[in-house]
Amino acid sequence: MDRQPVLFALEGTEDFGKSVAAHLEIKLAAHEARDFEDGEHKVRPLSDVRGLDIYVLHTLFGDKTHSVNDKLCRLLFFIGAVKDAGAASVTAVLPYQAYARKDRRTKKRDPITTRYMAQLLEAMGTDCVLALEVHNRAAFDNSFRCRAEHLEAHGLFVQAIKEKIGNESVVVVSPDSGGTKRVDRFRDAWTAIVGHEPPTAFMEKRRSEGVVTGDAVVGNLSGKVAIIVDDLVSGGTTLLRAAQACRDKGATRVYAVITHALFGPGSEKLYKAETLDQLLITDSVTPQQEAPAGSNVTVVSVAGLFAEAIKALHTGRETPVLMD
């Protein structure tokens, strides 16, 4: 395919979009976004999209300007407008997918918003969804009838940590038993890059009515560098409990890798936490509270990962990025 991919980045995701575009060696396609006095809005492409394969980048996490619901509406309406304008295909590129945490019923009459999200995107004519580390990979795979591609930042985190710790022994830790599959995939990435398979451990955790209990750790951490792996962190309470438990079990150092740094109210305690030697996050969202200079937070960019995935989708090539 000779044509370059056409990439739009909607309001609130422009900076990340420019980074992805730079990796692709293209410019972001222009669009118009207008807000009306009554709170309504419209978004439209400013160039001809007829017959083209379009990629629409938007991270669905609320910020100071737009709520998550506002961002979702803008994404849906823009995809609809692009399809109406004759685009051959539209891929929704989601560094952070909203409503992914509610993927099953835990109480009577619970919603399954992961599936509802899929239905909304499909209703607008979305041909493919490209998302980074959703909360439940199986639910993501099973919710969509259109093509759905899932990206993981594990390899990037492994390389960043390996540069810091050298050949020290590690153990990969899940902050709860439900995250063991995510830890297994991180362990696989570590094995593929480093050449040996590290042991794993997990922490007991129970949540009811927003209250988290349980602090037992299953696994041997003595004399090892603990790497806590999770997909997102909001307040940070669970992460700090896990870090302290790793220290108590004899870990020499504690690293944490968090793909989506939501960093809501109360998360500032993470920035100087003595139990954490380093907190590695991606730039999938702009945190509600930015980490101050000199904190223990390191940002690992996933812009290149998204660019590589878009190239693979656009050319139809199979690559390791889209074959996990």
Which is the catalytic residue, given 205, 249, 269, 311? 205
How far is residue 172's CA from residue 228's CA, in Å, rounded to a whole number?
A: 6
C-alpha distances in Å from residue 158, one per residue of 131, 143, 163, 193: 20, 29, 9, 8
Which of 216, 297, 290, 207 has its CA nearest to residue 256? 297
Which of 140, 120, 129 has its CA nearest to residue 89? 129
How far is residue 324's CA from residue 321's CA, in Å, rounded to a whole number?
A: 7
* Number of residues assigned to the chain: 324
Answer yes or no: 205 catalytic. yes
Which of 119, 125, 123 has its CA nearest to residue 143? 119
How far is residue 58's CA from residue 96's CA, in Å, rounded to a whole number?
A: 8
Instruction: Report residue 320: phi and psi, to 5°.
Output: -55, -25
For 292, counting Cβ atoms within 10 Å of its Cβ (0-12 exposed, 13-18 middle, 19+ buried), the class is: exposed
- DSSP conformational letter for 267: G
Residue with tokens 């307040």: 235
Dihedral sign of CA atoms 99, 105, 110, 116 in order: positive
Question: Could you list the active site residues?
Answer: 205
